[in-house]
């Protein structure tokens, strides 16, 4: 059974998402569906690739990413599209 470590950055990201959802609800709008974000190690495991290959995919623009506080995040839907050959 794999153990996941929750970092302060993870908690801060969760807090921001939760606050945004509350603000949206208070404004009478429907909250947007939260995008599932993956970290590099999760993407490498899904695609069964090395860190260097993942870096090459980023450099070539094959995989989009967002960098927050030194951590790279990838949209799960983008990775899924890549796995399905639609990326």
Q: Is the pLDDT of residue 21 over 70?
A: yes
Q: Assess if residue 6 is contained within a domain.
A: no
Q: Assess if residue 18 is contained within a domain.
A: no
Length of the chain: 87
CB atoms within 10 A of CB 50: 10
Q: Assess if residue 44 is contained within a domain.
A: yes
Structurally, the chain folds into a number of domains equal to 1
Q: Assess if residue 29 is contained within a domain.
A: no
Q: Which range marks the domain in which residue 77 is found?
A: 36-87
pLDDT digits (tens, 9 = 90+) for 26-79: 887 655 566 788 999 999 999 999 999 999 999 999 999 998 888 999 999 889
Distances (CA, A) of 60 to 25, 56, 63, 64: 39, 6, 8, 10
Q: Which residues face 38 on adjacent strands?
A: 74
């Amino acid at each position: 059974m794999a153990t996941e470590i929750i970092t302060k950055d993870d908690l801060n990201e969760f807090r921001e998402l939760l606050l945004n959802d509350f603000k949206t609800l208070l404004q009478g709008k429907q909250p947007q569906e939260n995008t599932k974000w993956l970290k590099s190690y999760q993407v490498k495991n899904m695609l069964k690739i090395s860190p260097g290959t993942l870096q090459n995919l980023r450099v070539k623009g094959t995989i989009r990413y967002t960098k927050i506080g030194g951590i790279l995040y990838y949209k799960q839907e983008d990775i899924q599209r890549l796995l399905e050959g639609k990326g």
